[in-house]
Structure 1
Amino acid sequence: MFGQKRLSREGGIEIVVKELATRMVKKGHEVTCYNRSGHHVSGDEFDDTQEKVYLGIKQKFVPTIEKKGLAAVSASFFAALYCAFGKYDVVHIHAEGPAFFCWIPKLFGKKVIVTVHGIDWQREKWKSGFASKFIRQGEKNAVKYSDEIIVLSKGVQTYFEDTYGRKTRFIPNGVTRPAIRHAEIITEKYGLIKDSYILFLGRLVPEKGIRYLLEAFKDVKTEKKLVIAGGSSDTDEFANELKELAKGDARILFTGFVQGQELEELYSNAYIYTLPSDLEGMPLSLLEAMSYGNCCLVSDIDECTEVVENKALIFKKSDVNDLKKTLQEVCVRADAVETLKRQAADFICNKYNWDEIVQETLELYRRAK
């Protein structure tokens, strides 16, 4: 597998690759992950981690040019090259950009599977210039050269059929029911207790709709805090813009990138979780939030509404006024919030089971021509 940065919580793709790979290893398969070299968003202490085997997964770190726009391209090129010459039955590529190089392992007789985690060229940071052209060509190369394409939503499945006449396989992401954590670290670090805050957790990028969330929340009358948890992507420019927008409201808190017990406590003790995105692939953070029994408030994009069905609150995408109105209502309607909380975990864990998804993926490997 390649396309991920490394086996971490750095982003949704990284989580998916780790979940798939660890379970496939447990089933007796040999899995090699080609990871990027270089900086890790979790901190400098992770940068030198070059373990050759991690949870039974073989890890190889490929040469990576650490310049904006070149890290993913260079790492994907070398990963594709190494996969082409390796003794592998299947090469599984994650995301449209890395799929640009799917013809290389295909040329050497490998079965090639591409998972499209979202229509990446639509993301704000990649809408123009070289990156946009590269990712769009990656999408086209996936259509032309891959044996199978996996998509994570029905909307993306329709897009490939309408745009290219290419049939794809819908295999969503999964989630595992977690253990609930009492507030300890988050109380000590941020003064947060159970049900005292609204949580956003994800990468700080424009398409996540965080601007709307901040604008809406500043006009909501509540003593609850708004916690923005997550690291920036590539640069801190957008994160700094968000902090500037939040100035003057002491209820808004930025934690930066979180993981481990702190992450688990944030999920476990939120009053509600919100994902106001304009664009998603299949939001793993939303699955995770529901698995912790959270009442969720999401934008009405298909990628969110397909996940939550009628088990969450929904507002109009990009509509600050509708988001503000819904936030105000949930802050005074604890009974409605509690009803959705009680339904969330059972619903999501039964709907998206990792073990079933891994089995379906392995069957797709076997069927690929």
Structure 2
Amino acid sequence: MKIALVTAYYYPQSHGGTEKYVHSLAKHLQSKGHRVHVITSYGEEITDYLYLGVKTFVLPAEKRLSNEIIVGDRPSLNIIPFEQLLLKEAYDNVHFHTLTPLFNIFHIQVAKKVAANIYFTAHVPGLTCIRGDLLKFGLGPCDGLVTKQRCTACFIQKMGYNKSLAVMLSTSVIFARYPKNLSGVVTKKLLEMHMLNSLIDKIFIFTHWQERILLMNGFSAEKLEKTSQLFEEIVPFLAVRKKVKNIGFVGRLCPEKGIQSLINAFKNAKRFDINLNIAGIINEVGFYTELRKKSEGFSNIKWNINLKENELNAFYQKVDLIIIPSTSFETGPFVLYEALKMKIPILANNLGDLQNWQEKGYDIQLYSSQQELIAQIKTL
């Protein structure tokens, strides 16, 4: 079979869980005898390339996306070469891994016209949640049902308003149907979900919470297929307990990954005998700068930025505990699997399916609040 994996994020321009999974999937499919290409898009002048045996097509895109493209009212200009590429290559399967301004519902519509099968892998909560994190008013887990009043209020709250004011504003916004970017945001999401369910032949999911929420919001059960981000089994283990001298964090440096709460908890725990080692991928320079300021004066907070794979492996070798402080629902994250493979104990925020991993016998401890995280660090 000839397969295209479509993603807005891919090596070597960016590094993260989605990139890692897409590349691993490409190599896995190649090992099964399939012809596999990756299709990505960048505003810079990057040409097609071969990445570790995977042919990668790079579509040109605007250097600065308009607001219409960002909110999904129209496609990027890359949609024209995208359609031309699909027609030329005649793929059997076109498999989307991101739903972003660079590859949105318009691209899926184009693919549906020219390809035999359209697949989609849901990597993030944003497939259904307009906040993008599945946290109701940013305070705790949401049941995931998309409703106009509640989701509009929650979306407004994330813009910086307190909950009470956001609820009042949502009522006025919906009644007045103004401004349109707020009054219609939930209607647009509901339409997008309906179109995805109609256009896509198979939706791959990784977690129980994804399955529950997609079914609740009208996705067809027969189109959902539970899969794994792992292509080899990790046997449960309990690590030999030893004195923790080095805590590790691995991931993108963005609010959703909870790195700011981890730094605050580490500082409040006052464990000057322990190092917090951060292997971070810069997502936004301003946020990274803020994080560095937070760590000023703490010589035991050590920064390792944009590590290469061999450097990351060396990083894992020196840490005694991995902390996963994500503040939004995740389908992994990939650091979970890497830590398990390396037999490193894990301390994680109890969101998503992490408790299921603990129940299967893996060495994972959970916390449910900032105070619990501080207390856990104090007792290491």
Superposition TM-score, scaled by structure 1 size: 0.73
* Pairing 1:158–2:222 present: no
Shift of 1:199: 0.5
Query: Is the contact made by 1:93 and 1:99 (CA closer than 8 Å) also made in structure 2?
Result: no
Q: CA deviation at 1:87?
A: 0.8
Question: 1:3 Cα deviation (Å)?
Answer: 1.5
Classify 1:23/1:2 alpha carbon distance in 2 versus 1 (closer, same or farther; 3 Å): same
Give the secondary-structure state (helix, strand or coil) at the position aligned to 2:291. Answer: helix
Match of residue 229 from structure 1: 279
**Alignment pair present for 1:205 and 2:214:** no
Q: For the structure 1 residues 304 and 137, does the alpha-carbon distance in structure 2 shift closer, same or farther, using more than 3 Å as the test? A: farther
2:230 paired residue among 174, 178, 184? 174
One-letter amino acid of the structure 2 residue matched with residue 243 of structure 1 = R
The equivalent residue for 2:111 is 105
Helix, strand or coil at the partner of 1:31: strand
Correspondence 1:65 to 2:62: yes
Pairing 1:286-325 to 2, within 5 Å after superposition? 286-309=336-359, 310-317=361-368, 319-325=369-375
Partner of 2:23: 18
> 1:49 offset after TM fit, Å?
6.9
The AA in structure 2 aligned to 1:171 is T
Residue by residue over 1:43-84, the C-alpha shift from the partner in whole angstroms, topping out at 9 and shown as x without a partner, is: xxxx85742x44443221111223368699638735752454
For the structure 1 residues 11 and 271, does the alpha-carbon distance in structure 2 shift closer, same or farther, using more than 3 Å as the test? same
Verify the 8 A CA contact 2:60 2:78 in the aligned structure 1.
no
What stretches of structure 1 of length at least 5 have no aligned partner? 40-46, 179-193, 332-369
The equivalent residue for 1:261 is 310
Structure 1 29/323 Cα, relative in aligned 2: closer, same or farther at 3 Å?
A: same
Q: Is the 8 A contact 2:266 2:374 kept in 1?
A: yes
Amino acid at match of 2:119: I
Secondary structure of 1:229's aligned partner: strand
Structure number with bigger Rg: 2
Note if 1:32 corresponds to 2:60. no
Q: Tell me, yes or no, if the aligned pair for 1:3 and 1:93 is still in contact at 8 Å.
A: yes
5+ residue gaps, structure 2: 134-154, 160-180, 235-242
- When the two chains are superposed, the root-mean-square deviation of aligned CA atoms in Å is 3.0
Change (3 A) 1:196 1:240: same
Change (3 A) 1:79 1:327: farther
Pick aligned residue for 1:217 from 263, 266, 270: 266
The one-character-per-residue Cα deviations of 1:140-175 (angstroms, maximum 9, x if unpaired) are 432221001111111011100001142211112016
- What is the match of residue 203 of structure 2? 149
Percent identity over the alignment?
Answer: 22
Aligned residue pairs, count = 303
Question: Shift of the alpha carbon at 1:6?
Answer: 2.3
- Written as runs of structure 1 = structure 2, the 5 A alignment for 1:287-366 is 287-309=337-359, 310-317=361-368, 319-329=369-379, 331=380
Q: 2 CA distance for matches of 1:215 and 1:111?
A: 47
Shift of the 88–48 alpha-carbon distance from structure 1 to 2, 3 Å rule, reads closer
Picking from 6, 15, 28, the partner of 1:2 is: 6
Q: 1:232 offset after TM fit, Å? A: 2.2
1:96 corresponds to 2:99: yes
The AA in structure 2 aligned to 1:315 is L
TM-score normalised to structure 2 length: 0.71
Q: What residue number does 2:79 align with?
A: 77
Name which structure has the greater RCO, CA cutoff 8 Å, separation 6+: 1
* Corresponding residue SS for 1:117: coil
CA contact (8 A) 2:279 2:306 kept: yes
Structure 2 residue identity aligned to 1:283: P
Deviation for aligned residue 1:305: 2.5
> Higher helix fraction: Structure 1 or Structure 2?
1
Pairwise CA distance, 1:267: 1.1
Distance in 1 (CA, whole Å) between partners of 2:338 and 2:190 is 30
